Chains A and B, each alone.
Chain A
Amino acid sequence: MKSSRAWLPRWLTSEHPFPWLLPVTSLLIVFGLYPVLYSLWLSFFKRNPATRKEKFLPSWNWNKLIEDDRVWDAVQVTLTYASIALFLQLALGLAIALLLDSDRKGFGVMRALMTLPLVVPPAVTGMMFLLMYDSSFGVISNSLYALNLLSPSAPILGTGSTALWGVIVADTWQWTPFMVLIMLAGLRALPREPFEAASIDGATALQSFWHLTLPMMSKIIALAVLIRGIDLFRIYDYVKVMTDSGPGTATETLTAYAGTVYFKSANFPYASAVALATLIVVLVTASVFIKIFKVRF
């Protein structure tokens, strides 16, 4: 039988994969691939701030990047931020998931309530914590004053040694439920029998957790760490809203630095190099992690 659209070239007919792949592929090209390639192209230029002229000088920005102490500081802040937040969120997520993994009455509701922080936009979360940290009326600051753990002379977000922690707490409040969600999905899917066998074999709850739950959950934990880890590397909104990289550059992460170079110095070529450097760090770390922990999707 002859199709009524026989005049169309074969690669445009519905039997060919091309028309089906076209929409999403074009979106990816326009919004994914093109900006990356354009940034790369841009990073090969040297910008003169006075004349606003750009000159093709491929190694300029990349050399500058390597010699820029602020970049290395930012890498350090990003790594510190990401690893502490990841550890906290993972530990809390697993602990809360273990508590909520029950079929008793009311636990379903609690599991649902648990996800609420995820609905709040990150910038709003930042604002919320900004208020709670406020040195005169913030509930968190005042509670810490009362416990003698904090002095009004050193506000949380205004002090170099505590500012990063302040941001981490906000991030952790918002994203721990995500970990809980993934861990719960994993825990609920675990078979019951090996745990019964273990309790008959004489295992205490802690031993069961250590010898059974953790190994059986390892794939899921690795996946969760990967997803959250990549996310944490890209941290921008909390820092921007809460500290704007301050005090000084105490909370300046790589993305925050890139943002500053883009929007404050308007040095687009150099900012592109910083942003690409972030991408490279994430890609390398993630692939090493995937290799080591044999993460499967």
Chain B
Amino acid sequence: MASVKITDLHKTYGTTKVIEGLDLAVDDGRFVVLLGPSGCGKSTLLRMIAGLESITAGDVLFDDKRVNDVHAKDRNIAMVFQNYALYAHMSVRKNMAFSMRLKKTDKKIIDEKVKWASSILGLDDYLDRLPKELSGGQRQRVAMGRAIVRDPDVFLFDEPLSNLDAKLRVQMRTEIKDLHQRLKTTTIYVTHDQIEAMTMADEVVIMRDGVIEQSGSPMEIYDRPNNLFVAQFIGSPGMNIIECRVTGENGTLYGAAEGLQLPLPSGANVSVGQNIYYGVRPEHFRSSRQVAASAGGKAIAGAVRVVEPTGPEIHVYAKLAGQDICSISRERVIWDPGEEIFFDPDLDHVHLFDGVSKKAL
């Protein structure tokens, strides 16, 4: 086990800058998820930690030892690849035993380890099969088995679940988390799937264009996004964002957009005339057939467009002064398309972002 520290890391391909001055510290035993849209540099970062990609500038440290020039084979890491990268001509057993065979580990120990890993991963019956004779989920587990028999200092996962179907993905998610809780090995996990990130991580690191936008616990990131990008990236359906300008009326401040007056939380750090983004998560955007009392006579009214019942909750999409808005409710209200609907934002959970810097206010 080891801690991983990255300081002022840079990566460029020719003139293209992929990672620019990135700092990251992963404490021993933590499960950190690198999350971001395609092309944000998260996979490159992971591959640099693995030693598969050269480092343009900056340092990667394992347990405070610089490993920039240490070859991948000597870093004692294990990695699970998106497309599994199994050895096609070797049986499941040999795939898992490969690293130990290279180290000339005692055959008895190899057998024991393979047995241990296969029982954890439910691969006992498949040990003598070739990868091509396995399903996607089984191959994924072989790739994990190959990683855990190693007893690595750090686990690296590169979008390991993105080739699996939805049901299997949920199942593997739980298995990986369970595995981490048992083994307590430092883990760095790359994904573009926010649900994976939220459900598995001790700490989520959100990246965009080679820079860390925000890092923190999943709930911290969800509840207190640092900036507009993070606010929009996390959450599904996404946060409702309404561009507006702060206006004052009788000492009360409002966010005014075309045909709308949105109440601001008391003590909001804004001034009259400022352009802001007004963000409310769907579940904090209560909907009803009556004008809410808190609206102070300024009804936020729209027209229902689409209703999506998901089972536990109902997603209502509506047009609000020309903008698409989503509201989630757990009440079984039946809406008809075109019906008038009133919204009431939960002021404790309203997020305001500066119109220029897009940072949280």
A interface residues with partner B (beta carbon < 8 Å):
191, 193-194, 196-204, 207, 211-212, 215-216
Contacts and interface: CB of A to CB of B under 8 A. Distances in A.
A297 to B, nearest CB: 20
Determine chain B's interface SS by DSSP, over half rule.
loop
20 contacts: A196-B52, A196-B72, A196-B85, A197-B81, A197-B87, A198-B87, A198-B98, A199-B51, A199-B52, A199-B71, A199-B72, A199-B73, A200-B51, A200-B75, A200-B77, A201-B146, A202-B74, A202-B99, A203-B102, A204-B73
B232 interface: no
Contacts of B88: 194, 216
B102 A201 contact: yes
Interface of B: 50-52, 71-75, 77-79, 81, 83-89, 98-99, 102-103, 146, 150
A276 to B, nearest CB: 40
Given A199-B73, A203-B73, A211 B85 contact: no
Contact of A200 (B78, B84, B103): B78
A100 to B, nearest CB: 22
Contacts of B74: 202
Determine chain A's interface SS by DSSP, over half rule.
helix
B102 A202 contact: yes
A201 B71 contact: no
A200 B98 contact: no
Contacts of A207: 102
Given A197-B87, A201-B102, 18 more contacts: A193-B81, A193-B85, A194-B85, A194-B86, A196-B72, A196-B81, A197-B81, A197-B85, A198-B87, A198-B98, A199-B72, A200-B50, A200-B72, A200-B77, A200-B79, A201-B73, A203-B102, A215-B89
A200 B86 contact: no
B83 A193 contact: yes
Nearest to A218: B89
A216 B131 CA distance: 14
B73 A197 contact: no
A112 B277 CA distance: 59
Nearest to A195: B85
A212 B90 CA distance: 9
A215 B95 CA distance: 14
Given A212-B87, A215-B89, A197 B103 contact: no
B81 A202 contact: no
